[in-house]
Every structure is written in C-alpha cells, then in structure tokens.
Structure 1
Amino acid sequence: MSSRSMPEPAISMACAPHLPSAAVGRILLHDAAFADGASPALRTGISLTIEDGKIAWIGPNDSADKTRAEVIDAGGATIVPAMVDCHSHLTMQGGSHWIDRGNDAPAVLRQVARDNAKRLADAGILWARDVGAPSAEGVPLSIAVREEHKGKRGAPYMRVAGTWIGKIGYPDMWVTTDSAGLKDAALGQLDLGTDLVKLYMDAPGGVRDSPFTVDAVRAAVAAVHARGAKVAAHSGYLDGARVAAEAGVDSIEHGMELDDDIAKTMKRNSVTLVSTLSVFASWETFARTTTIERFTGAEGKQRMGKRKEGAYASIAAAKRAGVRIATGSDFGGGSVRAGHLAWEVELLVAAGLEPHEALASATRIG
C-alpha cells in the first residue's frame, strides 16, 4: 500500500491521485472510499474538503459543496486517517547496524531526525512517539528535535520520552539506576522537558528477571502521573512485563512474552500494548541482505524465530483479554527504517487482528 500525506489534521490515500500544492485554497476530493478503523466495512461515495490546508468537511458525494473548489477525482482511492507511530526513535536511522548508529555524533543524529521526520510525513504518519534517544551533555537529543519541528508543515507532531532508564549495567548513554533510585530518575527526565518516561524492564546481560520491583515501578508511575505525564515500559521478557503490568504503567512496548495472566492484568490496569512485529520481519530480510552472523547463522535464525513466535502469541493473548493494542515500528532504535508503519498494520492482521482493528491500532488508538 502506498500513501501520501495531507496537511494536518491529515488523511492518507491509498492509490492516491495527484494532489495540488498547499497553495490552493479549497480542494475537494470526490468519490473516494473511506476506512476509519471503526467498522469492517468501507464507506463508499465519500467526498472530502480541504480548506487552507486543513480538513474542513467529509461526507457523502451528493452533499459536497463544489463552490470555488478544485475538484480532484479520487475514484478508486481509499482515504484513511493519518497514522501514529507509537514506538519510534527519530534520531536513529535503523538498518542492520542500528545499535552502532546510536553512537554517531549529535549533529549527525539531529540530521537523521530531520530526514526521518520528512519520511514520516511523506508516508502519512503525522504523530511520532519517540521512546528513546541518545543524549548530548546530559540532555536527550529528542527534546531539541521536538522543539525544532513543532508547528512545522511537513513534519509529524512529536511526543518524546528522553533517554532510556535501565538498571545499572547498561551503556553510559542511558540513565542507569536501581529500584531505590527509579522514581528520581523518572522525574529527572521530566525535569529536562520530556513528555513521557521510558523504563527499560529487561535486566542487563540477558537476565530474565525484572530489573525493578513492583513497588519501585508503581512509585515511579505515581510520581510521573502526578506531573501529568505517562510511563512507557520496554519489555522483552515475561517477568519485566508482569512487573510493569502490575505497577500500572501506561504502555508495554514490544511485549514479546506476554501470557494470559499478564494480559488480564494489563486489561485491569488499562495498560496498552504497543506492537513492534515489523522488527522481526526486518530481521528476516537481513538473513538475505547482510553477512551478520546473528541474522544469517542457523543459531541466530532459530533464536529470532522463537522471539517472533512469542511476540505473535503475545498479540493473541492481548486480544483475548481485550487489551488496547497500538502500533509502533521501532524505527531507528530498532532495525526498521522510518515510514514503514503500514508494514506493522499488515503484520497485526497476520497475528490475528481484523483489518479494521489493525488500522484502528495505527490511527485512533495510537
């Protein structure tokens, strides 16, 4: 599916006709279909009016006002809401060397963010939730990126989490602490100007136990909520997800090892799952396009297959429990590159969501 962006509040159009520049005052897209993610059925015979770069009206063809409008024949195109990438890393470029690229110079990372912002807008993704960025002189680069792009046409709206907060033992670019210092570390990120906080609920060194206690995470969540902000929690292993769900974080990112009990706790505590299935799909392509052993070797492929299986099972558990599912691509901080959120929608359908449910996860739920 190809898509093109429209000025905010935005739409994307599959099989889009040529659209005039934003300088045109009034545009009418005529006779399109509309998929809003609320219903499995397309609405057909739909027209949409854009005035001064903003959507002014949407409704049936016969109610459209064509006065002083440039009418665009949108027959055969499908309008969908602009998408929300709930798990992104704007300052990082992705690809098979994504971890190394996080160590690039701050000026390079800032330019990567500019390029990524444009790619998102071009793909019809007009909200980006940045859940981790390297820092320069103690300040996460994502804060400056957000301020640079605030109010700009051709760029997504941004919410940023600052840098990662993990257990002592992670790299220097992170904020590292233990359970006793978790609340202060979280508030420290908000003091720098972040919109939310990102906790890393995997311990260093592949240890599968949660790095923080339920009480510590719960106290951090309460303190962050008292400041009007939210908490996102990375979770690759079961125990970290269990602790995050019990502590009432706002979202579990990835959630690669959820079981039915954790999913029920997430539902009870209103915890959203942010899926990142496209990471595994991109890794599978690296088995053919790189010479990196972790992707090309038999052991690496087996390990990737097991992780993918767990992630798909987690989506199924979340759906059974009625957990809200939002989509993320993990571009930049993972192997995916910016602008590929539609891939995640397709993979959610493969994981068991209905097409309209997957679209909702990438739009209004996000």
Structure 2
Amino acid sequence: MGTVVRVRGIVLPEREERTFWIDGDRLRTSPVPGAETVVDGGWLLPGLVDAHTHPGSAKPGDPFDHDLLRADLGLHRDAGVLLVRTPGTAGRMPRWVDEEPDLPRVRSAGRWLATPGRFFAGWGRNVDEADLVAAAVEEASASSGWCKVIGDWAAGEPAVPVGVLSAVVEAVHAVGGRVAVHCQTADGCRNAVEAGVDSLEHGMNLDVGLVERMAAQGTALVPTLGAFLDFVGPTSSDFLRQGVEGMLATIPVAREAGVEVLAGTDSRPCGTVVGEVQALIRAGLTAEAAVGAASWRARAWLGVPGLVDGGPADLVAYDRDPTAEPGVLAFPRRVVLRGKVVR
C-alpha cells in the first residue's frame, strides 16, 4: 500500500459532506489513521469532462502529433478536465495514453469516417458508403469502443442515408461499441436519430420534434455550442446563423425532454470546458444541469462512476459552489487525478 491521503468536502451533485481516503487510484470511505489531508472543506466535483475534444491536431488537415497530444491533454488536466472523449482524430489514439498516470482518462473514437465529399480533404479515413459499416467496426474495435461518422457536411448537399447509418449502428452495437455522428443539417440530424446513433455531435438544425425519440432511445446531444457562438458573426452565412439560433432554442427543450445534453468544446486551446458550461447556461440550461453536463452526468453517460466508494480517485475541489457560481470552475483549488495531487 502506498501513501494514503484524505479529502473532505461537500460532494456534488448530492450536496452532502463526505470524507474519502484515496488508496492508489480509488476512493475509499473507510478511515485510514494517519492519512495526510490534501482537501479539507469546500466543494468536490467528480473530475470535469470534455465530451467532444480533438487533442493532437492543431487545425484541420494537420497530421496527428503525439507531442501535441500530450500537451493538449496536459492543458485539460490542469483545468480539472480529467476525462475526455475524442470523437474522431487524424490518427488512432496511441497505447501510451492509457498508461500515463498524469494524463486524463481518454475515451476515443478512432479516426473520423468520412464518405466522399463530406469532410476536410485528406483528413480522417475516407471510405465509400458501401464500406462504411466494416470501417466503423474496425475503428470502434481499435479504440475505446467508439466510432465517429461524418453524417453530413455542406448545406444543401445530401446526408449519409439513414439505411447506411442504421447498418453502422447495428454492426457497431453488435461488437459492444457506440456510434457518434457529426450532423449539422436537418436531414443529417434526422437520419442519425432515426438510425438510433448514440450521440449527435453538434446537432445544428435539429428538428425539435425529434427530441422525444432521442430521449427514448438514449441518443445524447453534444452541441459544442460555444465553438459556434465564437465563430458566428455578421458576415456568417444564413445557414450558420440560423443553425446557431436553432441550437439555442433546441438545447433546453431537449434537456427538458430527457435528452442527455453534454459539454464538449471542439475548439482550441484545450482545457476550456468552462466556456461550454457558460454557453449551455446561455442557451437556457440551469447552472446545475450545465455543470453536470461537464462532470457527473457526462461521467455516468460514459460509464465512469462519480465520487463513490471504490470509484476512480479523480476529483476537483473548489472554494465555492460551482452550481451557484459556474465561473469558479475556472479556478480549481485542488485537482486530484488517479489518486495523485496534480494541482
């Protein structure tokens, strides 16, 4: 047994004061005499989550860079983001990511899967629609179980047919994987929902009439709203401006219907999920729902326990309640990753 440390604080979302002893990379509730106290008071959150981030590539078209990947994950960690989902990268996630004790836990989706004309030229893995099912199974099997399909691209151009996406979902689910789909057009969103995908990435121009079905079948929405709000401006196209306006209106309706709305940045620099929390609040989510979208709700959706006995020792401590003052998320007092104090 290594050195055991102790943390105490008000745990969110339960709002109960609890004490944990950290043994290795696990939280324990059984007292250990003589443990060093590293957090005593304040508010404790399960490690923050960025559910849509692409560490390792500086801009579209750039190759996958392992040194940049390490630096990007370090930025996430220092901001208290201790679990990330990477729905698509320019290359497959290296094995060393899962072995690095000082880097966030990663759930990856292999390379982007794009059919002709539906992605940045030369980026990701380009396949014909006829080969998409087999490629999706390969990428899901070579990653953390996720695959990512570019379901549509430019406005006015056809989306991947619902029959093709349905076959992808069936095949990937059969091997225990999950399917994320990039969609920004109304047809792309509709096809993805009707195919039963696990997550809509962006969901711009999503028909609000589909949210009940999304909730019933467990399709999450990862809008990456902040990235669009930063990008849209007076000279933006009608498609973009109307799409962002639609997102602002649809997000709270989707959450109210029971859709899991999650925080993802899809932008650089890494480690800025607090900005997405603020964007979700701007869209009409309560502060607690928005913070949960970047912490305990996202972790549960990814199958990772929160602050419970036997759960991973990944937590962030704050001086004030982040659900009352979301801005405090940018100022963690203490960050503990895999049982190690990293800040």
Determine if the alignment matches structure 1 residue 127 to structure 2 residue 83: yes
Answer yes or no: is 1:55 the counterpart of 2:21: no
Corresponding residue SS for 2:297: coil
What secondary structure does 1:262 align onto?
helix
In structure 1, the residue matched to 2:7 is 29
Task: Give the residue type in structure 2 aligned to 1:70.
Answer: E
Letter in 1 for 2:214: M
2:178 is aligned, of 219, 230, 233, to: 230
Q: Which amino acid aligns with 1:35?
A: L
Aligned mates of 2:71, 2:2 — CA distance in 1? 26
* Distance (whole Å) between structure 2 residues aligned to residue 70 and residue 231 of structure 1: 43
Partners in 2 of 1:65 and 1:179 — Cα distance? 57
**Equivalent-residue separation in structure 2 for 1:71 and 1:181 (angstroms):** 55
Select which of 179, 191, 205 maps to 1:243: 191
Which residue is equivalent to 2:274?
342
Shift of 1:33: 2.6
Q: In the superposition, relative to structure 1, how do residues 180 and 364 fare at CA in structure 2: closer, same or farther (>3 Å)?
A: same
Q: Is the 8 A contact 1:200 1:234 kept in 2?
A: yes
Q: Does 1:68 align with 2:40?
A: no
**Structure 1 228/74 Cα, relative in aligned 2: closer, same or farther at 3 Å?**
same
Change (3 A) 1:178 1:262: farther
Give deviations 1:15-62, integer Å, cap 9, x for gaps.
Answer: xxxxxxxx98233334x33222xx5xx43x5433333454222xxxxx
Q: Quick check: 1:259 aligned with 2:207?
A: yes
Q: TM-score, normalised by structure 1?
A: 0.73
The 1:53/1:209 distance shift into structure 2, 3 A limit, reads same
Give 2:114's aligned residue. Answer: 166
Residue identity matched to 2:178: K
| Structural RMSD (CA) | 2.6
Q: Counterparts of 1:1-366 in structure 2 under 5 Å? A: 25-30=3-8, 32-36=9-13, 42-43=15-16, 45-52=17-24, 54-57=26-29, 65=31, 67-72=33-38, 74-75=40-41, 77-93=42-58, 98-99=59-60, 102-104=61-63, 106=64, 109-134=65-90, 140=91, 142-144=92-94, 147-169=95-117, 170=119, 171-190=121-140, 192-193=142-143, 195-203=145-153, 206-283=154-231, 298-300=234-236, 305-330=241-266, 335-366=267-298
Q: Secondary structure at the match of 1:198?
A: strand
Instruction: Give the 4+ runs in structure 1 shifted more than 4 A.
Output: 191-194, 301-305
Distance apart, 1:304 and its partner CA: 5.4
TM-score (norm 2): 0.77
Report if the CA contact (8 A) 1:166-1:176 is conserved.
Answer: yes
- Counterpart CA distance in 2 for 1:302 and 1:74 is 52
d(CA) in 2 for partners of 1:71, 1:309? 48
In structure 1, the gaps of 5 or more residues are 1-22, 58-63, 135-139, 285-294
Q: Which amino acid is 2:10 matched to?
A: A
Higher Cα Rg: structure 1 or 2? 1
**Offset of 1:218 from its aligned partner?**
0.4
Alpha-carbon distance in 2 for matches of 1:162, 1:83: 22
User: Compared with structure 1, are the counterparts of its residues 174 and 52 closer, same or farther at alpha carbon in structure 2 (3 Å cutoff)?
Assistant: closer
Equivalent pair of 1:217/1:247 in contact (CA under 8 Å): yes
Secondary structure in 1 aligned to 2:236? helix
Q: Percent identity?
A: 28
Give the superposition deviation at 1:73.
Answer: 6.1
Q: Size of the alignment, in residue pairs?
A: 296
Offset, 1:254: 1.0
Q: Is the 8 A contact 1:246 1:269 kept in 2?
A: no
Classify 1:316/1:209 alpha carbon distance in 2 versus 1 (closer, same or farther; 3 Å). Answer: farther
Distance 1:227 1:73 in 2: 42
Task: Tell whether the 8 Å contact from 2:109 to 2:146 is kept in structure 1 after alignment.
Answer: yes
Query: Aligned partners of 2:163, 2:54: CA distance in 1, in Å?
Result: 29
Q: Tell me the secondary structure at the aligned position of residue 163 of structure 2.
A: helix
Any stretches of 5+ residues in structure 2 without a counterpart? Answer: 299-343
Task: Note if contact 1:259-1:317 (Cα within 8 Å) is conserved in structure 2.
Answer: no
Letter in 2 for 1:299: T
Deviation at 1:352, TM superposition (A): 1.7
- Contact 1:25/1:53, CA 8 A, preserved across alignment: no
CA drift of 1:176 comes to: 2.9
Q: Which has the higher contact order (CA 8 A, sep 6+)?
A: 2
Is the alpha carbon distance of 1:220 and 1:343 closer, same or farther for their aligned partners in structure 2, counting shifts above 3 Å? same
